[in-house]
Amino acid sequence: MLPTRFSIASAQCGKPHHSFSTIVSSDRDQFERLLSDVRRFLSQQQEVYGDLLFPGTQPAHSRSDAGDGGNVTKKGDGTSEEELFPDIPASRAPGSVRTEFPKEDWVGTEDLEALNHMICTCLKCSLGQTRTKFVFGVGNPQADLVLVGEAPGADEDAQGEPFVGRAGQLLNKILEAIRFRREDVYICNILKCRPPNNRDPLPEEVNLCEPYLWKQLELIKPKLILCLGRIAAQSLLKTTESLSSLRGKVHDYRGIKLMVTYHPAALLRNPNWKRPAWEDVQKVRKLYDELTTNR
Ligand code: SF4
């Protein structure tokens, strides 16, 4: 539409054709820059406020760091979750969220490495077909603090390790700032395989993969979980509450205390959040010290 509008304006102004092209090109560049700024702003706001920012919409299905503009599906257009995955019960329906372990061999294992070995060929959801590497988790198998993100990204998928790349480096610095080394804690994600284009995990994928996280936690027996990012927090706590309302509180996840802060990738996009994130991790350290002092 823009070229047509500017074409009329140009004709009225009687500008020669090469000037018109320059004007159109320059205005379009400005328009695209403005659009990009608006998109970035909305993405940052949604990271914090989640669905409260867009009341009446479904939870976002595209990680805001992916920048692919969302992937929300609607009923009746052939792309709803139920229509795409007719054999899998919709986990959003009340009572359909999995709370018990499936009846499978790996559930009985008592060793973290053995668990990794038993589940690393998983194909329960479609992400098993598209992953490069299964991303189980790394760190101290007896850690008192476990960090949980939502899913592997491109770097993690390539290397088979969670939180590598720029976000991982920032996470290491955050840990150092509260006197942890990366190897002191355990780091993993809810999903063990990368969603294509870094989209958000689908509820069905969380429902299928989350029991692996439960088993990891059962074996590690941490005192505290730090949940990284809104999507991970909402997925674990089964809530649509905003990140801002989830931060600063101590939640319960299967009997383990859980706190929430920003995803390091979000901090890279918006350095203004580093201050509140710093406050979050100070509280995490304080609670960790209280929980581990009288062991
Ligand atoms: S994401 Fe989880 S459930 Fe899906 S294939 Fe990977 S390990 Fe299996």
Q: Using one digit for the tens of pLDDT, what is the confidence trace for 185-231?
A: 999 999 999 999 999 999 999 999 999 999 999 999 999 999 999 99
Residue 272 lies in a domain: yes
CA–CA gap between residue 111 and residue 173 (Å, rounded): 29
Residue 82 lies in a domain: no
Residue 196 lies in a domain: yes
CA–CA gap between residue 72 and residue 197 (Å, rounded): 14
**What tens digit of pLDDT does each residue of 149-195 get?**
999 999 999 999 999 999 999 999 999 999 999 999 999 999 999 99
For ligand 1, the distance from its centroid to the CA atom of residue 212, given in whole angstroms, is 9
R_g of the chain computed on alpha carbons: 22
Residue 246 lies in a domain: yes
CA–CA gap between residue 104 and residue 44 (Å, rounded): 40
For ligand 1, the distance from its centroid to the CA atom of residue 122, given in whole angstroms, is 6
Residue 169 lies in a domain: yes
Q: How confident is the model at residue 89 (pLDDT cuts 50, 70, 90)?
A: very low
Residue 6 lies in a domain: no
Query: Which letter does DSSP use for residue 125 in this model?
Result: S
Pick from 32-36, 81-85, 209-213: least confident: 81-85
Single-letter amino acid, residue 104: E
* Integer CA distances (angstroms), 80 to 38, 72, 83, 85, 95, in order: 28, 9, 5, 8, 19
pLDDT of residue 22: 53
- With a Cβ cut-off of 6 Å, ligand 1 is lined by 122-125, 127-128, 191-193, 205, 208-209
- 288 versus 59: the higher-pLDDT residue is 288
List the CATH number of the domain containing 173: 3.40.470.10
**Residues of the domain holding 212:** 102-293
Which pTM was predicted? 0.74
Cβ neighbours of residue 23 closer than 8 Å, sequence gap 6 or more: 6, 10, 15
Residue nearest to atom 5 of ligand 1 (CA): 128
**Does 13 score more than 50 pLDDT?**
no
**Does 30 score more than 90 pLDDT?**
no
CA–CA gap between residue 6 and residue 255 (Å, rounded): 62
Grouping H, G, I as helix, E, B as strand and the rest as coil, residue 142 is coil
Token pair recorded at residue 2: 């823009």
State the total domains in the chain: 1
Token pair recorded at residue 101: 């372990």
Residue with tokens 């929300």: 72
pLDDT of residue 294: 67
Residue 87 lies in a domain: no
Residue 213 lies in a domain: yes
Residue nearest to atom 3 of ligand 1 (CA): 209
Residue nearest to atom 4 of ligand 1 (CA): 125
Dihedral sign for Cα atoms in the order 58, 263, 101, 117: positive
Residue nearest to atom 1 of ligand 1 (CA): 193
pLDDT of residue 179: 97
Cβ neighbours of residue 46 closer than 8 Å, sequence gap 6 or more: 53, 54, 60, 64
Cβ neighbours of residue 194 closer than 8 Å, sequence gap 6 or more: 127, 130, 131, 132, 135, 151, 152, 153, 154, 156, 157
Question: Which of 196, 222, 190 lies closest to 97 in space, CA to CA?
Answer: 190
